[in-house]
């Protein structure tokens, strides 16, 4: 069983909770934590389920509902906002035909916002899964999304 192998990669200590939840979420093709994942983590780490659930809902990098293969997070911090984050949000939304918090019908993309990506020097910015893209323009955004659709 895949999830048991994931658990065994971590020592059963409370400080491993975030890493364990990330690993469980990555193992799900729909990029989210199922109730079973939360229960597994709670039992394995000897933590109350309510604590594990509160951690999973506090951090925006975790989701309790299915998401796309590519999770697009657009930074809406003040520096990004000042240099055009709103037009980047509009470009992604219009290009994919979804609103913030939604997933494309083909399950490929989910659009989310982030309060900060920590890359103010290249604002406006977005992160797709673990890759950061900065100095964005609507044209650059469309190019990135087209490349992802083609599997590049």
- The phi, psi pair for 111, rounded to 5°, reads -105, 125
Q: Where in the chain is the domain with CATH 3.40.30.10?
A: 70-149
CATH architecture of residue range(s) 70-149: 3-Layer(aba) Sandwich (3.40)
Mean pLDDT over 112-134 rounds to 94
Whole-angstrom Cα distance, residue 10 to residue 16? 7
- Rounded to the nearest integer, the mean pLDDT of the chain is 94
Distances from the Cα of 136 to the Cα of 105, 112, 144, angstroms: 25, 16, 10
pTM of the model: 0.81
Q: Above 80 in pLDDT, residue 132?
A: yes
């Amino acid at each position: 069983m895949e999830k048991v192998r994931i658990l065994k990669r971590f020592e059963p200590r409370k400080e491993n909770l975030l890493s364990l939840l990330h690993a469980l979420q990555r193992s799900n093709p729909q990029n989210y934590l199922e109730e079973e994942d939360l229960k597994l983590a709670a039992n394995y780490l000897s933590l109350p389920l309510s604590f594990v659930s509160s951690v999973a809902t506090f951090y925006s990098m975790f989701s309790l509902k299915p998401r796309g293969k590519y999770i697009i997070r657009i930074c809406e911090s003040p520096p990004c906002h000042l240099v055009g984050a709103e037009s980047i949000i509009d470009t992604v939304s219009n290009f994919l035909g979804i609103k913030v918090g939604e997933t494309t019908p083909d399950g490929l993309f989910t659009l989310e916002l982030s309060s900060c990506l920590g890359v103010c020097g290249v604002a406006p910015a977005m992160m797709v899964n673990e890759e950061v893209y900065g100095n964005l323009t609507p044209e650059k955004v469309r190019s990135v999304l087209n490349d992802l659709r083609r599997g590049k």
